[in-house]
Structure 1
Amino acid sequence: MPVLNRIADYSAEMTGWRRYLHQHPELEFDCHATAGFIAERLREFGVDEVHEGIATSGIVAIINGQGAGPTIGLRADMDALPIEEITGAEHASTVQGRMHACGHDGHVTMLLGAAKYLAETRNFAGRVALMFQPAEEDGGGGEIMVKEGVMDRFGVTQVYGIHNAPNIPLGKFITTPGPLMAAVDTAYVYLTGKGGHGATPHETVDPVVAMCGMVGALQTIISRNLYALDELVLSVTQVHSGTASNIIPEEAWFCATIRSFTPEVRKLAEKRFREIVEGHAAAYGVEARIDYQLGYPPTVNHPEETEFAAEVAREVSGAEAVDARANREMGSEDFAYMLEARPGAYLFMGIGPGAGLHHPAYDFNDEAAPIGASFFARLVERAQPLR
């Protein structure tokens, strides 16, 4: 079965929703206008309940099926990114310095399409909880929604989500049981030495030299402390110091992103990071302050639910368009918190060629929205069939 015929009928309407959302991006938890647009559409569709203000601006909407049964959760993230758009599209962002560069406008549209279909047909038992989440890019809105009790409050028994994937064939689904995406931690290191004239370094304590030593040595965590078949990424992404060519600065700082899949590797990385920085600080005579921030946990799919989601994806896109044993990747996703709270699965769905995620030329492919909506709808109908 390809795209559901009824959802295909919504295609033009879905494109309109998506492009409106693209023109009006909002950041982090401040997704109030986006949530207002979503709530208005949901009420037009005739959903049974619309609960607003969850995790500041999130929404949970309930659609009742026919007869008793469990509640399945479907999630879409709503927030945009602080990027200046360069697509030149007629529907480009109208807000300077903000754009939907990750396709969350498309994710919302897919879930709205499924909502319209499910509210109209109700060809399922139990209930579906539609979760529209703020602050995926920064802030951990998924964690806040879980902490605010959405799983227990609405009786969610399993939960699913999709992320679009540029430069993967349109409609191809990619997932895997177990870890799919990495945990992400961020470390900031602030160094203080003794500044002075660049011509008399012997009279200073140079934090720049110390910083360079630390940056190079941190890579030995991967090459010399980690078992070769384990997976870890440690990238120093910012280095800052100095004001002029002839001044040895008093201070320097750098930051790094650290990505892993298991608690053991995550703990090892933090332990060795601290030891290397502190050891180098002592060797170079500088003071070091480390701000090591634990971020999103790994996104870990549940095996049974992953296989079920793959079966539904095969029904929608065909068997050859589903890779259910794909390689995991080092990106991160706060849907991880929902998968810690309930069994479920997360999948990538191809949207065809184009600029990559988080690129100022990125734009969601509107042809993908009916495919994602059909996947969500069939998940519900297959998971909770009428008897």
Structure 2
Amino acid sequence: MTILPIIEDSASELTAIFKDLHAHPEIGFTEHRTAGVVADKLREYGVDEIHTGIAGTGVVGIVKGSREGQRRIGLRADMDALPIHELTNLPYASRTAGVMHACGHDSHTTMLLGAAKYLAETRNFDGTVVVIFQPAEEGGGGGREMCADGLMERFGIQEVYGMHNWPGIPLGQFAIRPGAFFASTDQFEITVEGKGGHAAKPHETVDSTLVASHVVLALQSIASRNADPTEQIVVSVTSFETSSKAFNVIAQRVHMKGTVRTMSPELRKLGQERLTAIAETTARAYGAEAKVNYMKGYPVMINHGAETEFAAEVAREVSGDCAEAPLIMGGEDFAYMLEERPGAYILVGNGDTASVHHPEYDFSDEAIPAGCSWWAGVVERRMPAA
């Protein structure tokens, strides 16, 4: 593995930063302490400009190269944690009950800080780097909010690159794919209204539980019979709650929740249309009524072709290899930034650990130098010093 020497020398300092951030997790748009740590470190590292309060708690740093060329590249890390109670028993485990860095955003922040330190010390590039520390990736749409706050225009960003640690990929290795990479993540609520009554007299009721059960089954036909079988769509009903808690009462109402995940805008549109039609018409067939509330979430995250190949080249220089990543049906709000500017998103291996969003997930700090070196390599390769 080719790790930049200055970054290697900073490994112990960066590990300490990571452990501090891990012990003090903050939910999206409340990352005040984290943002403060980031801003303080950027000042300590001699970053040229530091901008805070973007989209609430976002931080942006500007590092100018040895020559202030025309090109401007954005590097983005997310900062927020999850509402999960940590079960790792690590000495630096979360000190906040019910909140945990279960997705490694603390490591992303640390790795970008390490890259910012290196770039500010060496300035071995011709252009400007915009280091972006984003709030609220976990469902809050912090990437969308930073873009809405003028991130790209205000800082003149021309390309943007992101990275995520990934369990299951060998430690410090990389994986990427061009085109659609992470899925769109829409949510829905369906309320089925029937006619409640006594369980001994079902003929006098319109059994909302029965109707809703048929809706759940019928929704699976979207993937099996409506979508092209070579494409990806996942429809999941994740919550099913009746208005009755008694053994002998047929419920008047059932409320369901779930998600629809796809890998293309066209299939996303089909999913919404079919879900609404199936829920409404199935309920009507049984004499009930279904009301659908469909909520658009993150769009499909689509890597740009040339930038993806470039990102892979840098990864191969750092680790010797860059694998083809699988399609991932989870969502990622870096999608909003890639809608605004060309760029790419890469995975860095975390080894054989618990999966992200698991209470026993543990980021391996041994991957920090590889991530720092990749981000620094993107800058030096894309904007070489004259």
TM-score, length-normalised on structure 2? 0.98
What code does the residue aligned with 2:202 have? P
Q: Distance in 1 between matches of 2:132 and 2:384?
A: 21
Tell me the residue number matched to 1:35.
35
Residue number in structure 2 paired with 1:355: 354
Report the Cα distance in structure 2 between the residues aligned to 1:318 and 1:372, rounded to whole angstroms: 14
- Cross-structure match for 1:72: 73
Q: SS of 2:102's equivalent? A: coil
Alignment deviations for residues 346-385 of structure 1 (CA, whole Å, 9 cap, x no partner) = 0111011111100000111100111100100111011101
Quick check: 2:265–2:300 contact (8 Å CA) kept in 1? no
Deviation at 1:326, TM superposition (A): 3.1
Q: Does 1:185 align with 2:186?
A: yes
Aligned to 2:331: 332
Query: What is the CA-CA distance between 1:190 and the residue it aligns to?
Result: 1.2
Distance in 1, matches of 2:258 and 2:346, equals 27
Among 298, 301, 314, the alignment partner of 2:300 is 298
Map of 1:18 onto structure 2: 18
SS in 2 for 1:349: strand
> 1:255-293, CA deviations, whole angstroms, 9 ceiling, x for partnerless residues?
121111112111111111111001012112222211101
Matched, 1:317 2:325: no
Match of 1:344 in 2: 343
* 1:190-269 correspondence to structure 2 within 5 Å: 190-241=191-242, 242-269=244-271
Gaps of 5+ in 1: none
Matched, 1:168 2:205: no
CA RMSD of aligned residues (A): 1.0
SS at match of 1:163: strand
C-alpha separation between the residues in 2 aligned to 1:267 and 1:45? 46
- Offset at 1:33? 1.0
Report the equivalent of 2:373: 374
Range moving further from structure 2, 225-234 or 39-48: 225-234
Shift of 1:225: 1.1
Partner of 1:139: 140
Aligned twin of 1:50:
50
The whole-number CA distance in structure 2 between the counterparts of 1:315 and 1:358 is 30
Q: Which moved more, 1:247-256 or 1:308-317?
A: 247-256
Letter in 2 for 1:333: E
Residue 265 of structure 1: SS of its match in structure 2? helix
Corresponding residue for residue 101 of structure 1: 102
CA contact (8 A) 2:116 2:131 kept: yes
**Alpha-carbon displacement from aligned partner over 1:212-268 (angstroms, at most 9, x marks no partner):** 000000001111111221211111111111312111112111112111111211111
CA distance in 2, matches of 1:230, 1:99: 34
**Worse-superposed segment, 220-229 or 331-340:** 220-229
Tell me how far 1:167 sits from its aligned partner. Answer: 2.1
Report how many aligned residue pairs link the two structures: 384
Cα pair 2:172 2:366 within 8 Å, conserved: no
How far apart are the structure 2 equivalents of 1:217 and 1:138? 28
Unaligned runs of 5+ in 2: none
Partner of 1:281: 283
Equivalent residue for 2:92?
A: 91
Cα distance between partner residues in 2 of 1:275 and 1:191: 13
SS in 1 for 2:59: strand
CA contact (8 A) 2:240 2:256 kept: yes
Counterpart residue type for residue 4 of structure 2: L
Please list every run of at least 4 consecutive aligned residues from structure 1 whose deviation after the TM superposition is greater than 4 angstroms: none
**Match of 1:81?**
82
Letter of the 1:44 counterpart: E
Measured against aligned partners, the alpha-carbon deviations of 1:172-201 in whole angstroms (never above 9, x if no partner) come to 211111111111111110122222211111
- Relative to the length of structure 1, the TM-score reads 0.98
Superposed displacement of residue 2, structure 1: 0.7
Contact (CA 8 Å) 2:167, 2:349: kept in 1 or not? yes
Q: Distance in 2 between matches of 1:85 and 1:285?
A: 46
Deviations 1:51-71 (A, max 9, x none): 000010001110111113211
CA distance in 1, matches of 2:124, 2:135: 29
Per mean C-alpha deviation after superposition, the further-off stretch among 301-310 and 263-272 is 263-272
Which whole-Å CA distance do the structure 1 matches of 2:248 and 2:346 have between them? Answer: 53
In structure 2, C-alpha distance between the alignment counterparts of 1:257 and 1:84, rounded to whole Å:
23
